[in-house]
Chain A
Amino acid sequence: QKEVEQDPGPLSVPEGAIVSLNCTYSNSAFQYFMWYRQYSRKGPELLMYTYSSGNKEDGRFTAQVDKSSKYISLFIRDSQPSDSATYLCAMSFQGAQKLVFGQGTRLTINP
Chain B
Amino acid sequence: EAGVAQSPRYKIIEKRQSVAFWCNPISGHATLYWYQQILGQGPKLLIQFQNNGVVDDSQLPKDRFSAERLKGVDSTLKIQPAKLEDSAVYLCASSKGTGKETQYFGPGTRLLVL
- Which residues of A approach B to under 8 Å, CB–CB? 4, 6, 8, 32, 41-46, 49, 88, 90, 92, 97-99, 101-104
Bitwise interface map of B from 1 to 45 toward A, beta carbon under 8 Å scored 1, else 0? 000100000000000000000000000000100000000111111
A88 to chain B, nearest CB (A): 5
- Which residues of B approach A to under 8 Å, CB–CB? 4, 31, 40-45, 48, 55-56, 91, 93, 95, 100, 102-108, 110
Among A42, A43, A44, A103, find the residue whose CB has the most chain B CB atoms closer than 10 A: A43
Q: Find the B residue at minimum CB distance from A4.
A: B42
Whether B107 lies near A88 (C-beta < 8 A) is no
Q: Determine which of B42, B56, B91, B93 lies in contact with A6 in the assembled complex, contact meaning CB atoms within 8 Å.
A: B42
In the complex the two chains form, what is the Cα distance from A40 to B106 in whole Å?
13
Once A43-B93, A43-B107 are accepted as A-B contacts, the answer to whether A98 and B42 lie under 8 Å apart by CB is no
B34 to chain A, nearest CB (A): 12
Q: Known contacts A6-B42, A8-B40, A101-B44; can you find 12 more A-B pairs with CB under 8 A?
A: A43-B105, A88-B42, A88-B43, A97-B48, A97-B103, A98-B48, A98-B56, A99-B103, A101-B43, A103-B40, A104-B40, A104-B41
B28 to chain A, nearest CB (A): 16
Q: Find the A residue at minimum CB distance from B106.
A: A43
By a CB distance below 8 angstroms, the chain B residues around A104 are 40-42
What are the 9 closest A-B residue pairs judged by CB atoms, nearest first? A101-B42, A43-B105, A103-B41, A103-B42, A44-B105, A46-B102, A101-B43, A88-B42, A98-B45
Whether A45 lies near B100 (C-beta < 8 A) is no
Whether B40 lies near A41 (C-beta < 8 A) is no
A-B contact list, 24 entries, CB within 8 Å: A4-B42, A8-B40, A32-B100, A41-B108, A42-B108, A43-B4, A43-B91, A43-B107, A45-B104, A46-B102, A46-B103, A92-B100, A97-B48, A97-B55, A97-B100, A98-B48, A98-B56, A99-B43, A99-B45, A99-B103, A101-B43, A101-B44, A102-B42, A103-B40
By a CB distance below 8 angstroms, the chain A residues around B93 are 43
